[in-house]
Amino acid sequence: MSGRPRAIVATPRLPWPVDDGGRLGLWQILVATARHWDVTLLTLATPDEIRAGAHATPGALASVGVRTVAVPHRPWSVTRGVLADLTGPWPYVLARYRNPAFEDALRREVDRGRAELVVLNHLHLATYAPAARPAAVVLRQHNLEHVWLERYAQLLRAGVRRAYVTYQARRMRAAERSLCEGVDLVLAVQPDEADALRQLAPGARVETLSAAVDFHRFLERRPVTPPALLICGTFDRGSNADGARRFLERSWPRVRRSVPEARLRLVGKGLPAELRALASERGAEPVGYVEEFQPELAGAAMLVVPLWVGAGARLKIVEALAAKTPVVTTTLGAEGLGLEHDRNVLIGETEAALADAVVRILSDPALASRIAAAGHRHALEHFSEDVVGERMVRLCTEAVANRAAAGNPAPCR
């Protein structure tokens, strides 16, 4: 042992490979936390991942003192999840992450390392907060789960499915309130979400901790010819796939009428077969997963984020800003990032307006340069890894001190 204080970061899945915004955000949490604490990563993993050694700590994390403990967990079937939802205390989204072995492992690791801090990554693991005591418990909220469910329900036709999602949203709202008030600190990704959580759970301490990017990772801008639009994300998430589909069906034809030579690339994991087929049919390129995202940003004329439902960190937008790539999105896509239409981003609320914003960028190089430069300045001021990492360490240190001052200290080292 190094003599430094101990911390545990608990997560519902392995943070590697770093192939989406959630995993990148978790990686950044681990690196930031390891600046001050000796960190144990406690994670759920499938038996196959554990047998294959996929849970082994990567060298980059091991070098900063992170060790990994993986607990076997098989994803629940829908039937089991619904039964647990109907008969147990937690809604389906939370119930499917319940695992007695994980709860035991968390208690054991807190006691073994005499941990003073436990960071629960995502509301999915907030039900384990009692097992983390007497350590200070910090909940990293990636989005407002009940709001996401409410928005999703509004998109569904009246019927059994919509009724069930609406019911889930009500249950999740109550669960989210009690879980946030049961920890020492909640870290929200966006200021708007932090304000909403304060209203929902007035007994909770809520602070904003933005998503972060490493500015050194990005390549020099070299947009390709003919110009290429980029839509990227994790497409097995319904909100991303739905947005891409709506853009392909209603926005992309309008763009091509104005700029026939324009190209469109769909990049990201989980690209479903029906979306691949639609992209090919509409003259777009269904690329799917790529090992390196930076070359895509460097070569793109812009990043398009057609998002009409969902929530989260919007990390791909932040990365595009950092890479000096112009961004075109919806109001929801820009939510919580402090961006302003026609200053550091272009916003189109409807499919037609989104297409017109894309055409403006393609047709006006001076506008594209101005938007990109302003977006880069905004990202540098608000989303650099150093700024966000230092803020996280300070907030977590305060949470530990506040718990001790209240007479509930973590165990002495």
The pLDDT tens digits for 275-295 are 999 999 999 999 999 988 889
Mean pLDDT of 41-53: 95
- Residue-wise pLDDT tens digits, 116-138: 999 999 999 999 999 999 999 99
Phi, psi (deg, nearest 5) at residue 92: -50, -45
Give the domain ranges of the chain. Answer: 6-212+384-405, 215-382
Report pLDDT for 118: 98
**Whole-number pLDDT of residue 408:** 65
- CATH class of the domain comprising 215-382: alpha beta
Write down the pLDDT at residue 315: 82
Q: Do domains 6-212+384-405 and 215-382 have the same CATH topology?
A: yes
What would the mean pLDDT of 350-367 be, rounded to a whole number? 97
* Spatial separation of the C-alpha atoms in residues 259 and 359, rounded to whole Å: 7
- For 210-220, write each residue's pLDDT tens digit: 888 888 888 89
Mean pLDDT of 86-91: 90
The answer on pLDDT for 410 being more than 70 is no
Nearest to 97 by CA among 140, 45, 57, 53: 45
* C-alpha 298, offset from chain centre: 22
Report how far residue 302's alpha carbon sits from residue 320's, in angstroms, rounded to the nearest whole number.
8
What's the confidence (pLDDT) of residue 312?
56
Average pLDDT over residues 8-35: 86
Percentage of the chain beyond pLDDT 90 is 68
Contact in structure between 200 and 177 (CB atoms under 8 Å): yes
**pLDDT at residue number 22:** 77
Does the structure show a pLDDT above 60 at 53? yes
Q: Are 321 and 211 in contact (CB under 8 A)?
A: no
Confidence at 6, pLDDT banded by 50, 70, 90: very high
What would the 3-class secondary structure string for the chain be? CCCCCEEEEEECCCCCCCCCHHHHHHHHHHHHHCCCCEEEEEEEECHHHHHCCCCCCCHHHHCCCCEEEEEECCCCCHHHHHHHHHHCCCCHHHHCCCCHHHHHHHHHHHHHHCCCEEEEECHHHHHHHHHHCCCEEEEEECCCHHHHHHHHHHHCCCCHHHHHHHHHHHHHHHHHHHHHHCCCEEEECCHHHHHHHHHHCCCCCEEECCCCECHHHCCCCCCCCCCEEEEECCCCCHHHHHHHHHHHHHHHHHHHHHCCCCEEEEECCCCCHHHHHHHHHCCCEEEECCCCCHHHHHHCCEEEECCCCCCCCCHHHHHHHHCCCCEEECCCCCCCCCCCECCCEEECCCHHHHHHHHHHHHHCHHHHHHHHHHHHHHHHHHCEHHHHHHHHHHHHHHHHHHHHHCCCCCCCC
Judged on CB neighbours under 10 Å (0-12, 13-18, 19+), 368 is: buried
Res 311: pLDDT: 58
* Residue whose tokens read 């402090």: 338
Reported as half-sphere exposure (CB side, CA atoms, 13 A), residue 34 has a value of 18
Tell me the mean pLDDT in the region 242-250: 95
- Is it the case that residue 412 has pLDDT exceeding 50? no
Is residue 2 predicted with pLDDT exceeding 90? no
Per-residue confidence (pLDDT) for residue 413, from 0 to 100: 33
- State residue 409's pLDDT score: 53
The answer on pLDDT for 104 being more than 80 is: yes
C-alpha 380/C-alpha 318 separation (Å) is 10
For domain 6-212+384-405, the CATH superfamily is: Glycogen Phosphorylase B; (3.40.50.2000)
- Specify the residue for token string 């492992």: 105
Residue 173's pLDDT band, with cuts at 50, 70 and 90, is very high
What is the pLDDT at residue 237? 74
Each residue of 320-342: pLDDT tens digit?
999 999 999 999 889 878 899 99
Backbone dihedral region of 283: left (phi > 0), alpha (psi from -120 to 50 degrees) or beta? Answer: left
pLDDT of residue 246: 96
Cα→Cα distances 132→157, 398, 410, Å: 41, 17, 10
